[in-house]
Amino acid sequence: MDVEVGDALPEWRVPSVSAEKMKTMAALLADPNPIHFDVAAVRALGMGDRPVNQGPLNMGYVMNMLAAWSGGHDRLRRFRVRFLRNVFAGDELCAGGVVTAVRTENGVRLADCDVVLTGAGGEPVLKGTATVALEPVTKEKP
């Protein structure tokens, strides 16, 4: 894969965040926080009338974008993000980023990237950095 500093990562779009997936994730994570599945709890906190998406699901959208670009989830070497705002059921999201460095480490080409997940209007909901492995570096035969 030909990758250079400044290359934009292909966007990963989520047309509508699913409230049903939030309920499933809450059960899988044993997450008792009702804001992920109970609209009354969200209303009581003054946060509107839609369930709030879990952070791991938001991270997953960015990880899926990186995996699709680099060739698989096994290529992800480092991933660090900061959450900036809530994502609600029905929100449209877009994961993207840019390559900030390309280097070789232990015979493997790596791409360091700045990543972002944006909501409606392009407002970031999370930002971070990631390192993905590109194809292994091959040594030239003498």
Mean residue pLDDT of the chain comes to 92
Q: What is the pLDDT of residue 64?
A: 97
Q: How would residue 137 be classed by pLDDT, with cut points 50, 70 and 90?
A: very low
Are the CB atoms for 51 and 16 separated by under 8 Å? Answer: no
**Residue ranges of domains in the chain:** 8-18+53-136
Q: Is the pTM higher than 0.75?
A: yes
Top CATH class of 8-18+53-136 equals alpha beta
- Give 108-123 pLDDT, tens digit per residue: 999 999 999 999 889 9
- Give 8-53 pLDDT, tens digit per residue: 999 999 999 999 999 898 888 888 899 999 999 999 999 999 999 9
